[in-house]
Chain A
Amino acid sequence: MIWNAFLLAFRELPRNLLRSFLTSLGIIIGVASVITMVTLGNGATEKIKEQIASLGTNLLQLRAGQDIRGPGGVRMEAKSFDMADVEAIAREIPGIEAVAPIAGETVQAIYGNRNWSTSVTGSTNGFIEARDWPLAKGRRFSEGETKAGSAVCILGSTVAEELFGGEDPLDKTIRFTKLSLKVIGVFVSKGESSFGTDRDDFILMPLRTFHRRIAGNNDITRAYISILDGFSIDQEKKDIERLMRQRRRIRPGQDDDFYIRDMREITTVLSGTTSVLTSLLGAVAAVSLLVGGIGIMNIMLVAVTERTREIGTRLAIGALAREVLLQFLVEALVLSSLGGIVGIVLAIGVSAWLTKLLLVPFVLNPGIIAVAFFFSAVIGIFFGYFPARNAARLDPIEALRHE
């Protein structure tokens, strides 16, 4: 009987091909948009994970002040670190690859008649190691330059581009308000961060130079610490925390006035955010799937009215009410499932194209395809049932008389 219903449905649908297609269109678009949205969302999540991995998953960030936690999110003012702290970490804790003390300021950099507002970072060669950030040209700071606080700098690629254009910046002198620096190197470009900020827009100079010539103090606001392979990041975090509490004389029971963040946390938070966004996009797209279902119900209701005489004929010939019900139900199911299949094919094409366009990885999730297909079938049955029941309840005599 089920087989018969499929036979009848498959005979019926091609008879009005345009209508069958239009009926399925809602489902096609619904399924395609759900899958496309989720695929793009997954791609974006992947991309963010990749970018964070490019920062180095073995990277810790030590900052003065309290982490934003709890209501209000007030960050307490706390004293900065100093060079002794940084040296202590490198010296006393095993498994540390590099420590990069950071102090920073916003400056107006000038070269010739060009000027560019950027941030200047005072650090050591540890910055290059901890951030795993090679130079495109030029050289690192020499030991003498670091110790003496020489007027040299390494440019981020954006700054090099903005100030020098096509010109070679090496050995040229750039100027801040009251300070001239010789360019000794240029970093390779890392591009935009996942937050959309330009990571190449900065100037690196020796920390000592920064302290003496720009900041006028010896504060270190934060430090990047990279961990050697094979050491537990959690353990290193604990060790650094204990060392810092001791050095900053924090009594037991008292809260830290600094915090250590590792990149895995950021990864979790960010990919959590994009997952939420992906679900949201998927949910919005799911509404169109629902609308597609209502489209099917609409057309099936019209079809039942239009085919009243046909239904009367079928009933007179000896079709059982449940066979008529099943036929219409199967027609709706076939329409929506075919729509689902076409939608899946369309979605794969569109998401492959869009991911290329948006430069995110193409991550096809078979789960969401299965779910979208399953829902298209369920919607067919759900919205097909009411019209089908109407058809099955027709009185054959009335139906035959219907004009």
Chain B
Amino acid sequence: MNGSSGNDNHLIEMRRISRVYGTGHAAIHALKEIEMTIADGEFIAVMGASGSGKSTFLNIIGCLDTPTSGSYLFQGVHVEKLTRNQRALLRRHYLGFVFQGYNLLNRTSALENVELPLVYRGIPAPDRRSMALEALESLGLAGWEKHTPGELSGGQQQRVALARAIVTRPKVLLADEPTGNLDTERSHEIMNLLTRLNGEMGITVVMVTHEQDMAAYAQRRVVFVDGVISTREPGGAGP
């Protein structure tokens, strides 16, 4: 998946992307002919009211969903033409996910949670372990690797989830309301970590949020209104 076409700088390129759920009168147009490009190394905040299409947008970027029409190029590869398995492999090798509800495996140590994507990558056990420990350490979780999610605070759990997302050194980190379940202090802590990962490791970050404070960390904001990207900057400070 190293082939590239179009603008070299564009990691992600979306052309006239639409996503329709259902058919006929009951059809819901979640996304309407979206045009979007994301450069390598950007930090983007995706905003919008619920039902505005921002989650659908994130799912399509994350190759979990495919557009009904239009084309989505990831590093020049037409994702909409890939099979389910090919998309899974693309996720495995290029994408990292952070979910609002953390989605850590229960009764599973932080270390094993972070190791999980490496297991699917087929990394041998000793390497897997050292990479996972390194990721946990870089997020300030040294010494917590044996703890299970139940024994960790919300902020710690989200950091484990973050460690799991970046342990594979993905091209793109997709975060769906990563601070949704956290208090303000922990939220800023997570945002600082995201900013650091973006700056130090050059990981492109696409983050869905509805909080202006959090969006302020991003270099660019994209606001969805009824399935289209609003041209009007929302109120508040710019990037």
Task: Please report A residues at the B interface, Cβ cutoff 8 Å.
Answer: 1, 4, 7-8, 11, 15-16, 309-310, 312-323, 396-397, 400
A32 to chain B, nearest CB (A): 29
Nearest 6 CB-CB pairs, A to B? A318-B92, A15-B107, A318-B91, A313-B103, A317-B117, A316-B97
Residue of A nearest to B174 (CB): A316
| B116 x A397 contact (CB < 8 A) | no
In the assembled complex, how far is the CB of residue A306 from the closest CB belonging to chain B, in whole angstroms? Answer: 10
Bound-complex Cα distance A152 to B62 (A): 106
Partner of A321, one of B88, B95, B97: B88
**How far is A396 from B103 in the complex, measured between Cα atoms in Å?**
12
Would you give the shortest CB distance from A1 to chain B, in whole angstroms? 8
Q: Is the CB of A317 within 8 A of B116?
A: yes
| Closest Cβ–Cβ distance, residue A302 to chain B (whole Å) | 15
A389–chain B nearest beta-carbon distance, Å? 15
| Pairwise interchain contact A321-B92, C-beta atoms closer than 8 A | no
On whether the beta carbons of A396 and B64 are closer than 8 Å, the reply is: yes
Shortest distance between the CB of B51 and any CB in chain A (Å)? 14
The reply on B15 being an interface residue by CB < 8 A is no
Bound together, the chains give a CA A320 to CA B121 distance in angstroms of 11
B122 to chain A: which residues have CB within 8 Å? Answer: 1, 4
Q: Check if B88 sits within 8 Å of A319, measured CB to CB.
A: yes
- Are the CB atoms of A317 and B120 closer together than 8 Å? yes
Q: Is the CB of A320 within 8 A of B103?
A: no
B97-131 CB mask vs A (1 if < 8 Å, else 0) is: 10101010111100010001101111000000000
Could you tell me if B103 and A318 are in contact, using CB atoms closer than 8 angstroms?
no
Contact B103–A400 (Cβ < 8 Å): yes
> Within 8 Å CB of B69, what residues of A?
none
Task: Report the minimum CB–CB distance from B237 to chain A (whole Å).
Answer: 32
Are A397 and B105 neighbours in the complex by a CB distance under 8 Å?
no
Chain A residues, Cβ within 8 Å of B121? 318
Nearest residue in A to B112 (C-beta to C-beta)? A11
**B113 CB, nearest partner CB in chain A, Å:** 9
Query: Which B residue's beta carbon lies closest to that of A15?
Result: B107
A317's partner among B85, B97, B107, B108 (CB-CB below 8 A) is B97
**Are the CB atoms of B105 and A4 closer together than 8 Å?**
no
Q: How far is the CB of B73 from chain A (nearest CB, A)?
A: 20
Verify A11–B108 contact, CB threshold 8 A: yes
Task: Tell me if A313 and B105 are in contact (CB < 8 A).
Answer: yes
Measured between beta carbons, the chain B residues less than 8 angstroms from A315 are 88
- Residue B196 lies at the interface, judged by CB distance under 8 Å to chain A: no
A16 lies within 8 A of B103 (CB): no
- B residues contacting the other copy or chain, number (CB 8 A): 28
What distance in Å separates the Cβ of B131 from its nearest Cβ neighbour in chain A? 15
Docked-complex contact B105 and A320, CB < 8 angstroms: no
- B203 smallest CB distance to A (angstroms): 16
Distance in angstroms from B186 CB to nearest chain A CB is: 21
Which of A1, A316, A321 contacts B85 (CB under 8 A)? Answer: A321
Q: Can you name the residue of chain B whose Cβ is closest to the Cβ of A403?
A: B101
Question: B37: CB under 8 A from chain A?
Answer: no
Cα A120 to Cα B153 in complex, Å, equals 92
| Chain B contacts for A397, CB-based, 8 A | 59, 64-65
The dominant DSSP class at the A interface is helix
Partner of A320, one of B62, B89, B93, B106: B89
| Contact in complex: A317, B91 (CB < 8 Å) | yes
Query: Nearest chain-B residue to A306 (Cβ)?
Result: B106
B108 touches A323 (CB 8 A): no
Q: Which of B88, B106, B119 contacts A8 (CB 8 A)?
A: B119
Kindly provide the distance from the CB of A186 to the nearest chain B CB, expressed in whole angstroms: 73
B95 contacts which chain A residues (CB < 8 A)? 318
18 A-B pairs with CB atoms under 8 Å apart are A1-B122, A4-B119, A8-B119, A11-B112, A15-B107, A309-B101, A314-B116, A315-B88, A316-B62, A316-B64, A316-B91, A316-B99, A317-B91, A318-B117, A321-B84, A321-B88, A397-B59, A400-B103
Tell me the smallest distance from the CB of B132 to a CB of chain A, in Å: 13
Q: What residues of chain A lie closer than 8 Å to B59, measured between beta carbons?
A: 397
User: CA separation between A7 and B112, bound complex, in Å?
Assistant: 11
**Cα-based distance from A151 to B65 in the complex (angstroms):** 106
Provide the residues of chain B in CB contact with A11, threshold 8 Å: 108, 112
List A contacts of B164 (CB < 8 A).
317
The answer to whether B107 touches A323, judged by C-beta atoms less than 8 angstroms apart, is no
Q: Given contacts A317-B120, A318-B89, are A15 and B108 in contact (CB under 8 A)?
A: yes
Distance (Å) between the CB of A320 and the closest chain B CB? 5
A319 to B85, Cβ gap below 8 A? Answer: no
Q: How far is the CB of B157 from chain A (nearest CB, A)?
A: 13
Q: How far is the CA of A310 from the CA of B69 in the complex (A)?
A: 30
Which listed residue (A1, A309, A322, A323) contacts B103, Cβ 8 A? A309
Whether the Cβ atoms of B92 and A317 lie closer than 8 Å is yes
Q: B120 is contacted by which of A309, A319, A396 (Cβ under 8 Å)?
A: A319
State in angstroms the CA–CA spacing of A400 and B62 once bound together. Answer: 13
Which residues of chain B have C-beta atoms less than 8 A from A15's C-beta? 106-108
Q: Kindly provide the distance from the CB of A161 to the nearest chain B CB, expressed in whole angstroms.
A: 68
Known: A309-B101, A314-B120, A318-B88. 18 other contacts (CB 8 A): A4-B120, A7-B119, A15-B106, A15-B107, A15-B108, A310-B106, A315-B88, A316-B62, A316-B97, A318-B89, A318-B91, A318-B121, A320-B85, A320-B88, A321-B84, A321-B85, A397-B59, A397-B64
Q: Please measure, in the bound complex, the distance between the C-alpha atom of A16 and the C-alpha atom of B106, giving whole angstroms.
A: 10
Closest A residue, CB atoms, query B89? A318
Contacts of A321 in B (CB 8 A): 84-85, 88
Smallest beta-carbon distance B54→chain A, Å: 14
Closest Cβ neighbor of A398 among chain B residues: B64
A16 contacts across to B, CB distance below 8 A: 107
- How far, in whole Å, are A400 and B101 apart by their CA atoms in the complex? 9
Chain B positions within 8 Å of A317 at CB level: 91-92, 97, 116-117, 120, 164
